Amino acid sequence: MVLIKLTDGNGWVWSPVELTTDLANDVQSKLGDGCKVKHIVSPNKIHHYFLKQWSERYPDAMIYSPPGLEGRKVVENITFDARLMDDDDDDDDDDDDGGGGASTATKTAYGADIRQVIFHGSFAMEEVVFYHCPSRTAIIGDLIQRFPEEECTGFLGQMMKLDGLVGENGSTPKEWRLSFWGKDNRAKARAARDRLLSWKPDRLVVAHGSCVEGGASDVIARALSWM
């Protein structure tokens, strides 16, 4: 997971892991007295396992739903406050959908610190990628996986290598790539990639594998060159 202390002093949590007492104490220590977790996001529909824990621990926090997660049986006990959307969508109002679900919050309360873009075009799963402006850091869940070669041994390691997920650049699982089927869908994915690269990220945080401390734009461009 990622914890960011926003410029307003409050906390933004990405892809939360199991919330132990030690972790909760560490989060509060990082944020400081008087600051709270205010925003909790999932990058895609499969990074949801501990959202319930966090929503109960931080009842004042906004819980944001990525495309495809709201309405799934696995999250039927979670109340989502807003849906994640591209931060340049032309929608100035956070209107409710009329059906009791989350509002379509395009102008997020953390927008001064964090940009976001959705990789549209997949019939299997779409992912929201984030960019922390002050640290020039891209934050990616499953779209880029880059495991160290020395850790990928045996049969599973060989399968990961064949899937393009091992090494300096890494990439997207091949079966997920195939779900961006057709010229138009690939074009949607490329548009999201180009928008991410236009922010010129220097650092990269990934959920699976090694992070990047410098030159992240080049790594991202190579990893997503299949688009």
10 shares a domain with 99:
yes
105 shares a domain with 14:
yes
138 shares a domain with 38:
no
Range of the domain at 138: 113-227
Total tally of structural domains belonging to the chain:
2
95 shares a domain with 5:
yes
Residue type at 87 in one-letter notation: D
Residue 166 burial (CB < 10 Å; 0-12/13-18/19+)? buried
178 shares a domain with 83:
no
Q: Report, as an integer, the average pLDDT of 29-54.
A: 96
191 shares a domain with 90:
no
211 shares a domain with 222:
yes
- Which of 93, 110, 127 is where one domain is finished? 110
Instruction: pLDDT band for 9, please (50, 70, 90 cuts).
Output: very high
- Which of 110, 145, 169 is where one domain is finished? 110
Longest Cα separation, the chain: 52
225 shares a domain with 118:
yes
Give this prediction's pTM. Answer: 0.89
- Which of 71, 94, 110 is where one domain is finished? 110
Residue 121 burial (CB < 10 Å; 0-12/13-18/19+)? buried
Q: What is the pLDDT of residue 152?
A: 78
172 shares a domain with 68:
no
At residue 89, does pLDDT exceed 80?
Answer: no
93 shares a domain with 65:
yes
| Structure tokens given for 21 | 């007492």
At residue 181, does pLDDT exceed 50?
Answer: yes
160 shares a domain with 77:
no
75 shares a domain with 40:
yes
Mean pLDDT of the chain: 90
Q: What is the pLDDT of residue 93?
A: 43
Q: Report, as an integer, the average pLDDT of 204-216.
A: 95
Share of the chain above pLDDT 70, in %: 92
| Structure tokens given for 214 | 């410098």
Instruction: pLDDT band for 26, please (50, 70, 90 cuts).
Output: very high
